[in-house]
Chains A and B, each alone.
Chain A
Amino acid sequence: MTATRTDSPQAEKHMKTTLVRRGELVVGKSRTQVLEARYLGSCLGLAVFDPQVGVGGLVHCMLPLAEVDPDKARDKPGMFVDTGVEALLQEILAQGGQHPNLVAKMAGGASPRGSEGALGIGSRNEQVMRRILEENNISIAREDVGGTRSRSLYLYLKDGRTMVKYEGKEVEL
């Protein structure tokens, strides 16, 4: 994280914020669009952007692996880290993104203290995210994960800038 901002993305002129709800993914090229994944508790938000082509997207993953509920994964691939990342990358490439250009940033994966075993959803999400990105030869440029902090993640499709908002503060990722 590099800078502190006080203005909200919505305050920027001509910008339109699209909410990426739990289990959803949104990909686009509009230079006036900001994508927002709100209330990321243990959920992970992954923002991927191609700065050369100007296409990018955001996925709001809730759970690590689609195998726990394949029917739901077919209906909502973004809900699971494995199917969500694959679907996000596919859509970005379909809209002209080039794999070598892709910049990935992630936020979320928090948990209440003492979360372990069955209750350790945040850390399982993070582990699977790292594995899936590695399998896809994508390195993580920036991240803000873990801890007990709930976050919101924003991706500006204008330039690929990503912001993380928590406890009333907003910082660039």
Chain B
Amino acid sequence: MDKLDILVQAKKIPSLPSVVMKLRQYLNDPEVNFDELAKVIEYDPGLTANVLQLANSAYFGWARSIKSVKEAITRLGTNRIFQMVLCMSVAPLVRKPIKGYGLDSSDLWEHSIAVAICAETIGQELGLEEVEDGFTAGLLHDIGKIVLGTFVEVDDDPIKEIMELDHLSFNEAEMMVLGIDHAEVAAVMLSSWSLPEEVVEAARWHHAPSRCDTRYQQLADVIHVADILCLDMGWGLGVDGLCYKADHAAATRLGIEAPVAELIISKTMSGVEDLKTLFQPRTAGSGAKHEPVGA
């Protein structure tokens, strides 16, 4: 298995559903027609039910008072609606065992939503205006692991061996053994899905934000810090565990200090608890009318 084979596999992963990309276009339209936007979602009854469920969740919404898609768009904004639909579309991809990284079926999903929430919280707590895509980039930053960990089932033994011998981080060892790491695989996938350049670059440099082009560095810094904090808290620890390098310069550039970092983790914990419940597979006999969100 070499870099070329991996890239071929990465490009074979089906793109996100077309509704995600349609909603993305609406995000950039200041004169968006809410009726038209609502119709895009209402075309799919399952999606509509899930949007309403998320719109009434503690994290995304207004606690059980939103009754229609249009009301959800009006009250929560197009960006929130996009985030919800993105969550539903990404969940089936990452909510499965990622064998090559020793991740159980919920681990990568939990890590992805934790980093998304944490990145958004960093933006809010630090008043960063340019990290609108923090949630999106956080949700997708590790998507490369599904290629290396499931589709090509990379053998992690030589990676771990070289990591220990040469005191490398896990992604550096991936690069040595495979010629590519999960961050670059993610960037290739997100680019082929036509996601914005800053989301692609934040995924590419989430383990080395100081090497990111300065145009996109703030988002890369946010995702790096969010990723480190979420690994610290044990969200999504696999065979790679904590074997990464924290880039303190990213925290310094963002101006983040210890008490703020701890408050961000505390708030992230609340968000993860809210969202995890919504996306948990329902047990038989629960009386649920719909599939779990994102199933």
Give the interface of A toward B (CB within 8 A). 22-23, 38-43, 62-65, 68-69, 72, 79, 110-122, 124, 148-150, 167
The answer to whether A112 and B244 have CB atoms under 8 Å apart is yes
Q: Please tell me if B234 contacts chain A, counting CB pairs below 8 Å.
A: yes
> Across the interface, which residues of B come within 8 angstroms of A150, CB to CB?
234, 237, 241-242
Rounded to whole angstroms, the CA-CA distance of A63 and B261 in the bound complex is 10
- Chain B residues whose CB sits within 8 angstroms of the CB of A79 once the complex forms: 266, 269
Looking at the assembled complex, report how far the CB atom of A138 sits from the nearest CB atom of chain B, in whole angstroms: 24
Closest to B169 in A: A113
Whether B261 contacts A118 by the Cβ 8 Å rule is yes
How many residues in B have their beta carbons less than 8 Å from beta carbons of A?
A: 33
Check if A23 sits within 8 Å of B169, measured CB to CB.
no
Please determine whether B247 and A69 come into contact, CB atoms closer than 8 angstroms: no
Are A62 and B237 in touch, CB under 8 angstroms? no
B248: contacting residue among A41, A43, A116, A124, CB under 8 A: A116
Residue-wise, chain B 123-143 has the 8 Å CB interface mask toward A (1 for contact) of 000000000000000000000
Contact, CB under 8 Å: A43 / B233: yes
Chain B residue contacts of A149, Cβ below 8 A: 241-242
Extra A-B contacts (9), CB below 8 Å, given A63-B266, A72-B266, A112-B169? A42-B242, A69-B262, A112-B246, A113-B243, A114-B248, A117-B252, A117-B257, A117-B258, A149-B241
Bound: A43/B266 CA distance, A: 13
> Of A39, A114, A117, which one neighbours B237 at CB under 8 angstroms?
A39
Given the known interface contacts A65-B262, A68-B266, A118-B261, the answer about A41 and B237 at a Cβ–Cβ threshold of 8 Å is yes
B251 within 8 A of A: yes
Is B241 a contact of A114 with CB atoms below 8 Å? Answer: no
* Cβ distance A28 to chain B, nearest Cβ, rounded Å: 23
A148 CB contact (under 8 Å) in B242, B260, B261, B263: B242
Q: Separation in Å of the A109 CB from the closest CB of chain B? A: 10
Some 8 contacts from A to B, beta carbons below 8 A apart, are: A39-B237, A43-B233, A62-B265, A69-B263, A72-B270, A112-B232, A117-B251, A121-B261
A84 to B202, CA, bound (A): 36
Confirm or deny: B20 has a beta carbon within 8 angstroms of a beta carbon on chain A.
no
- Residues of the A chain whose Cβ atoms lie less than 8 Å from the Cβ of B241: 41, 148-150, 167
Q: Closest CB of chain A to B232's CB: distance in Å?
A: 4
Residues of B within 8 A of A120 (CB): 258
- Nearest CB in chain B to that of A73: its residue: B266
Closest Cβ of chain B to A79, distance in Å, is 7
Residues of B within 8 A of A119 (CB): 225, 228-229, 232, 246, 248, 251, 261
The prevalent SS among residues of A at the interface is loop
Question: Could you tell me if B231 and A112 are in contact, using CB atoms closer than 8 angstroms?
Answer: yes
A39's nearest neighbour on chain B, judged by CB, is B234
Q: Does A112 lie within 8 Å of B256, measured CB to CB? A: no
CB of B30 within 8 A of chain A?
no
Max chain B C-beta neighbours (<10 A), residue from A65, A116, A121: A121
Kindly provide the distance from the CB of A83 to the nearest chain B CB, expressed in whole angstroms.
12
- The reply on B259 being an interface residue by CB < 8 A is yes
Taking CB atoms, residues of chain A closer than 8 Å to B243 are 112-113, 148
> B242–A112 contact, CB under 8 A?
yes
Give, as a whole number of angstroms, the nearest-CB distance from A63 to chain B. 5
A63 touches B265 (CB 8 A): yes
**Contact between A63 and B234, CB atoms less than 8 A apart:** no
Q: Which residue, of B232, B244, B262, has the highest number of chain A Cβ atoms within 10 A?
A: B232
Please, which residues of chain B bring their CB within 8 A of the CB of A116? 246, 248
Residue from A112, A113, A124, A148 within 8 A of B258 (CB atoms): A124
Does B245 have its Cβ within 8 Å of any Cβ on chain A? yes
Interfacial chain B residues near A167, Cβ < 8 Å:
241
Beta-carbon contact of A111 and B237 below 8 Å: no
B233 near A22: Cβ-Cβ < 8 Å: yes
Indicate which residue in B233, B246, B262, B269 contacts A114 across the interface (CB closer than 8 Å): B246
A169 to chain B, nearest CB (A): 13
